[in-house]
Structure 1
Amino acid sequence: MKTFCGRANPSTGALDWVEESEEYDYHQEIARSCYADMLHDHDRNKKYYRGIRAAVARVQARGERVVVLDIGTGTGLLSMMAVTAGADFCYAVEVFKPMAEAARRIVEKNGFSEKIKIINKHSTDVTVGPDGDMQTKANVLITELFDTELIGEGALPSYEHAHRYLVQAPCEAVPHRATVYAQLVESELLWRWARLQPVAVEGARLAPPPALGLCAGAHSVCDVQLSQVSPGSFTALGPLCTMFSVDFSKPMSSAFQSHSSQFEARAGGRAQVVLSWWDLDMDPGGSVVCSMAPSWTYAQPETAPWRDHWMQSVYFLPSERRVCEGESLRLTVCHDDYSLWYGLRSPSQQDAQPEAPPPRPCCTCQAHLVWTRPRFGELNDGRRTESYVRALRSVLTADSVCLGVSDGSLLPVFAHMMGAKKVFSLESSRTSQQVIKQVLEANSMEGGVELLEVRAEQLSSKDLGGEQVSVLMAEPFFSSSLLPWHSLFFWYCRSALAGVLRPDAAILPRAASLHLLAVEFQDLWRIRAPCGSCEGFSVSPMDEMVQKSLDFREAREAEPHPLWEYPCRALTAPAEVMTFDFTQRVPQQPISSRGSLPLIRPGRCHGVALWMEYQLIADVTVSAGLIGPVSEKGECEWSRHRKQGVYFLRSPWESSGRAAVSYSLTFEPALGDIKMDFSVAPQ
């Protein structure tokens, strides 16, 4: 059966109707999931196996029949481990239908069909009894319900229900316990992701609106690969605190709770950010521990296991506060059934009443609804701002009529500050308008920029008060963009606005270019690598399903990834492979580029990294990818503000001799997309 799905095209802005089969949707979900990453996480798998063997042995030692409940079974791997360890029967629950089907195939392929029952339901819908999904309650509970924040996938309600209805008391649990850790730090780098900082423009100061400083920010967790955040970029103001533990072998509640840790500040500074992660004890004695700690906490950082399905968390305090070395502080963490948040206070601030827990953060300024954390970092990047100011300075005159086309951009504000006659800004939403309006009001610039909530193709000279635009400007940034070339939406806007542009109008940026280089990833390759087998069990049906999803596509696709979090080595020189001239309208005919890049370093070529660079004026370019030269060893420094595109090769290429990466790229104007294909061959 085929269905038609309406999707907004991020490049053209048009509503596209895409025909898809149900099977395609399922395979795409699996292909883009983290299952491959988890299957390649040997540290996790081995420790789960050790914990499962020990739990099964404890039940057998009591002379009981071992009945296992595996919630969130995924591929069925943990259930197969349990049966191999001696379990008599296992109920494996998986709510995601295509994954449950994959688990059935994997369990059958490994010969466990008689001892493992796959239940395609949410665990809270599972029933026990003669006519139920389970014939009897389980005495071993195995789960993998965790995310970076530990409880974000609904682990607590699932455990609460399982202990009430699906497992015996007492029961063995794997993992047995989780412990959450946190550390209070000052970090200018990380704090830039949470608050708009003052911006210097031509000797003037653009102040952030007071509402932004008073806002507690977004409540959602900021998950990152903290191993890639250098300890030199933050100052620890306190010790690593044990915040709370959860015993999964006992009944629990998913209701609101708060926990505190009191300590003396180890250094003075501005308390801004809480770094957090958690450990899993796979057994009651804590002898088998699976840790999410970043690599810089290890005596030998290179021995730290890499995971992408579980990372670390960054929490921003509602407001920064100055603390003194030796000051007594109390860090409090609260959680509901799905999320965590932190608060800080000095115990001396307490009065006779019990201390009230910090309220859950909620954005009141609207900026956190418009700007993502990387976007905050981009707006706070002084060097980047100077590039745009320098470019504006070269095209602005006292008679300039400027039009900005970006989402929640400060460029129109800059143009007004720099003396443009009139400034207009197209905003994608009413919320975005309100945020920019706050910026203008905070700096006594009311009326300095006229905010227009209208699509580019609908804009007329009447909307501009009869004016013709002499400077069309963009960063370009659009909240709908996922891949680097989705920012070409600006090109389509520029084409639609041709009727309101002066013949000699300056277009900023004047052009964009697509760049690429072939890379060897340190770890990211795992998320798309075939598994075949995992800890001795065949999981090849998973590889078959992922491959089938790739075969459904007319052409291979790139994926968006923030490469600053995923170290890689360049195996070719970076190359500019396609140019888009914004001074002209979008062409009717496709733009194609073909060629090859020689591999100049030995290594394992996993794929190709792609990014956009924007030529603002002749001598000012801003990169959304590489932000410095590649080192002699091939090390790369990537922009933290934008995601880059990654095209994974079907099979990695061992580059020990002379070889080259061939590329074929075609920009389809009607689709706003770039069709691409890459291959590696010896020279």
Structure 2
Amino acid sequence: MFQLKVNPVTGKSEWIVIEEDEESSVVVDLATTCYLDMLNDAPRNSAYLHAIHSTLLLFSNNHSPLHVLDIGSGTGLLSMMAARSMSHHHSSKGFVTACESYLPMFKLMNKVLRANHMNTTIRVFNKRSDELQVGHHIPSRAHVLVSEILDSELLGEGLIPTLQHAHDCLLVENYKTVPYKATTYAQLVESTYLWKLHDLFNNEANAADGIHLVPKGKETILRVKPQQLAMHCDAIGEEIRLLSEPFKVFEFDFSKRPDSHGETQVHIKATNDGTVHAVISWWVLQLDYEGLIYYSTAPKWVTPLQNNGLPSSYSCIRYWCDHWKQCVWFSKGKGLLVRKDENVCMNAIHTDISISYEFQSQSQRSEVDGHDLSPQLLSVTLSPERIAIYGDNNWRLSMLKAIDYALKEKDSPLCVVADDSVFLTIMVAHLSKKSRTIALFPGLREKGSKYLEAVADENGYSMDRVQVINSKKQLTLDDTQQKKADLLIAEPFYFGSEGMLPWQSLQFWSRRTMLDSILSEDVCIMPCKGILKGCAMSLPDLWRSRRALENIEGFDHSMVNSTLGACGGLSSSLEIPCLPFFIWQCGETKKLSDTCTILEFDFLKPMTSCHGKATVEFVDTGVCHGFALWIDWVILSTNNIVMSTGPDQRYWKQGIKLLAEPFKVTKNIPGICSAVLEASFDSSSGELSVKYN
């Protein structure tokens, strides 16, 4: 088997061969998926078990063999549920067909089936469902379809195309499905935090640095992709003001062939005066035909009665989980002003993979400054967190101070921007009219060049002073017209790597090393240092969602734990990988220690392997589940300008190293309640390993 591996610091990809028995080789690959989190979702598992049982009972009088098809089988849990239910309640011999297209998971599923003695009962295909053919792969069409190809938005994993093909080619005429139906709901909300995640134009208007990343008339030249954003909205519940009751948007009946396109107009009564910054949405599954078994992804503030009058037996209490969240759709510009009891008209549209919303009157209101770009103009899409950072006045001011200091006493400086920061590129050109800037833009590339050209006039520079050079080729003095660089700068930010582990931005150190021959003796390097920091955390929700699996509804899953990077009850020799999370979205959290410095990376020198360790003293009482890890970037040591990406900062993900087993700690017992964190950075592979004692 081949697996694509990316070197974290060089950004280069290479294919590596994984032998059949090298289970540990795919740990990190599968650990970063949602499989473990999903399998630890007990309410989900229970709901599917009971729904599959009740659905197959409808076929108890069938004379022909019952055929169940499981699409996107994962570990085979739903297939095993169906096979066991058939063996208990069907006199005629039935059979289960399972298909899983992801090869590592297909191999893992075979291990699970063998361990549960079901490898001869369930026939498994390493194929997409639309590759299956009746009469070739399977002997007949299926009577029942079981599947869990749902994402936080509901449709993003290709649910509709999958159901369409199954309806046309793989299922009998009067088939049944588990789940049976899904309904999407939404609510209008006001939230300054959500507004800052998308409206760069109006946030930038408050900045005093003279930089216009999104000039007037080009408001969406840097923007968030116009789609729903999955987010744990409970985490910002106190910062959300509800402007409506929950309302129903779409209903999808899985027992019928779904349409690829649907539109509906929803009339919503505003319950408060305010500004609609976003639409928060979720879905409710009806898993069984009778309508007795439900599962909801609603935020905690929504009661079952608000979900269109669900039966009293339905409970919206569920574990924190990361595989299904709520979704956020941003309202344009500053938002939509509403008055209490006003009727708000909203259009909702679904395609075969997404759902979108638009307020009918928003584009007509003078309070809204959002404008659509003409099709011919460039649009660069960034993550919501990156948009918020670029709109943050304090962040911009700190960067301005650092750049301004670095440019002092430098006549006609040559600056190399070693990352994808359009902000720093524009700022240098804006502040120094005699400067020349070379931007490497390893991720943005040509799109970054076109963007700089599009906003040049509004920022007071000409493109003869700014050049984008493909960073894939080695930069030489020929590219710099034989002049050595006076400044080498980065935020650092690499387009496309958002959401990865914090130290993957050490790609800056690798690029600084490759550029060593073109740097002047007194070059100013920003950031000049990276500091790996950490603290002990209580993370009960996250740890539970990633704990080792044993028995799931009667099926042994213990053999998947090491491959999925589980914690708890495993051999101490097995490494639990560091994983990237927004800690503030990890459910219940508590900081148990002061912040410690583990390792420093000196960017003034070429990249080298390094090692460091620190003692963590606990300062609060609680249960320690792991350590939060992040990098503080020292932009300029002389001015003590430091950009932290720690747990107190919402716009960056932290690395989390979960413990094999959590332990209780008590504050104020020196030397007894402490831990040692060690980190080793390998410059050849770009890997950072973290161990604790």
Q: Do they fold alike, i.e. is TM over 0.5?
A: yes
Q: 2: distance between equivalents of 1:347 and 1:14?
A: 44
1:645 to 632, 655, 675: 655
Q: 1:78: which partner in 2?
A: 78
Q: 1: distance between equivalents of 2:245 and 2:414?
A: 51
Paired AA for residue 52 in structure 1: I
Q: 1:581: which partner in 2?
A: 602
Paired AA for residue 342 in structure 1: Y
Paired AA for residue 492 in structure 2: P
Q: 2:380: which partner in 1?
A: 368
1:278 aligns with 2:283: yes
SS at match of 2:561: helix
Q: How many residue pairs end up in the alignment? A: 649
Q: 2: distance between equivalents of 1:560 and 1:75?
A: 23
Bigger mean CA offset, 301-310 vs 276-285:
301-310
Q: 1: distance between equivalents of 2:678 and 2:631?
A: 17
Q: Is the 8 A contact 1:318 1:361 kept in 2?
A: no
Task: Sort the Cα spacing of 1:510 and 1:189 in 2 relative to 1 into closer, same or farther, 3 A.
Answer: same
Structure 1, residues 417-475: CA drift from partner, whole Å, max 9, x if none? 44464141413211112223333333343348513314398444554456554333221
Q: Is the 8 A contact 1:51 1:282 kept in 2?
A: yes
Displacement, 1:577? 1.2
1:316 to 330, 347, 371: 330
Paired AA for residue 387 in structure 1: S
Q: 2:578: which partner in 1?
A: 558
Displacement, 1:44? 0.8
Q: How does 1:243-258 map to 2 (within 5 A)?
A: 243-249=249-255, 251-258=256-263
Q: Is the 8 A contact 2:267 2:344 kept in 1?
A: yes
1:93 aligns with 2:108: no
Structure 1, residues 362-406: CA drift from partner, whole Å, max 9, x if none? 98754434x222211221122211222232343332645251332
Q: 2: distance between equivalents of 1:361 and 1:418?
A: 28
1:56 aligns with 2:56: yes
2:632 to 587, 592, 613: 613
Structure 1, residues 268-288: CA drift from partner, whole Å, max 9, x if none? 555443222111012244332
Q: How does 1:133-212 map to 2 (within 5 A)?
A: 133-197=137-201, 198=204, 202=208, 204=210, 206=212, 208-210=214-216, 212=218
Q: Which runs of 5+ in 2 are unaligned?
A: 306-314, 365-371
Displacement, 1:521? 1.3
Q: Is the 8 A contact 2:10 2:507 kept in 1?
A: yes
Displacement, 1:69? 2.6
Q: 1:117: which partner in 2?
A: 123
1:342 aligns with 2:349: no
Q: 1:355: which partner in 2?
A: none
Q: 2: distance between equivalents of 1:17 and 1:105?
A: 25
Q: How does 1:479-558 map to 2 (within 5 A)?
A: 479=495, 481=497, 482-543=500-561, 545-546=563-564, 557-558=577-578
Q: 1:357: which partner in 2?
A: none
Q: 1: distance between equivalents of 2:152 and 2:272?
A: 28
Displacement, 1:15? 6.4
Q: 2:613: which partner in 1?
A: 594
Q: 2: distance between equivalents of 1:321 and 1:647?
A: 39
Structure 1, residues 75-123: CA drift from partner, whole Å, max 9, x if none? 2222333344445434142223443343344334334456433344322
Q: 1: distance between equivalents of 2:99 and 2:248?
A: 32
Q: Is the 8 A contact 1:397 1:420 kept in 2?
A: no
Q: Is the 8 A contact 1:410 1:436 kept in 2?
A: no
Task: Sort the Cα spacing of 1:582 and 1:56 in 2 relative to 1 into closer, same or farther, 3 A.
Answer: same
Q: 2: distance between equivalents of 1:654 and 1:321?
A: 46
1:377 aligns with 2:377: no
Q: Is the 8 A contact 2:402 2:641 kept in 1?
A: no
Displacement, 1:514? 0.7
Q: 1: distance between equivalents of 2:97 and 2:665?
A: 43
Q: 1: distance between equivalents of 2:177 and 2:373?
A: 33
Bigger mean CA offset, 238-247 vs 562-571:
562-571
Q: 1: distance between equivalents of 2:643 and 2:303?
A: 34
TM-score relative to the length of structure 2:
0.83
SS at match of 2:164: helix
Q: 1: distance between equivalents of 2:156 and 2:662?
A: 34
Displacement, 1:345? 0.3
Displacement, 1:133? 4.1
Bigger mean CA offset, 509-518 vs 318-327:
318-327
Q: Is the 8 A contact 1:91 1:134 kept in 2?
A: no
Task: Sort the Cα spacing of 1:113 and 1:496 in 2 relative to 1 into closer, same or farther, 3 A.
Answer: closer
SS at match of 1:230: helix
1:226 aligns with 2:256: no
Displacement, 1:344? 1.8
Q: Is the 8 A contact 2:26 2:563 kept in 1?
A: no
Paired AA for residue 424 in structure 1: T
1:413 to 426, 434, 438: 426
Q: 2: distance between equivalents of 1:118 and 1:577?
A: 47
Bigger mean CA offset, 22-31 vs 397-406:
22-31
Q: Is the 8 A contact 1:408 1:427 kept in 2?
A: no
Paired AA for residue 108 in structure 2: A
Q: Is the 8 A contact 1:517 1:608 kept in 2?
A: yes
Paired AA for residue 614 in structure 1: W
SS at match of 1:437: helix
1:569 aligns with 2:590: yes
Q: 1: distance between equivalents of 2:183 and 2:373?
A: 23
Displacement, 1:533? 0.9
Displacement, 1:303? 4.2
Structure 1, residues 189-216: CA drift from partner, whole Å, max 9, x if none? 2233334232556564636134642568
Q: 2: distance between equivalents of 1:417 and 1:153?
A: 44
Q: 1:353: which partner in 2?
A: none
1:107 to 108, 113, 135: 113
1:292 to 289, 293, 297: 297
Q: Which runs of 5+ in 1 are unaligned?
A: 350-359, 627-636
2:489 to 448, 473, 478: 473
Q: 2: distance between equivalents of 1:16 and 1:247?
A: 43
1:666 to 680, 686, 693: 680
Q: How does 1:31-50 map to 2 (within 5 A)?
A: 31-50=31-50
Q: Is the 8 A contact 1:402 1:420 kept in 2?
A: no
Q: 2: distance between equivalents of 1:4 and 1:117?
A: 25
Displacement, 1:361? 11
Q: 1: distance between equivalents of 2:144 and 2:253?
A: 14
Task: Sort the Cα spacing of 1:16 and 1:676 in 2 relative to 1 into closer, same or farther, 3 A.
Answer: farther
Q: 1: distance between equivalents of 2:545 and 2:374?
A: 33
Q: 2: distance between equivalents of 1:120 and 1:16?
A: 24
Displacement, 1:222? 1.9
Paired AA for residue 427 in structure 1: L
Alpha-carbon RMSD: 3.7
Bigger mean CA offset, 375-384 vs 98-107:
98-107
Paired AA for residue 560 in structure 1: P
Q: 1: distance between equivalents of 2:653 and 2:37?
A: 20
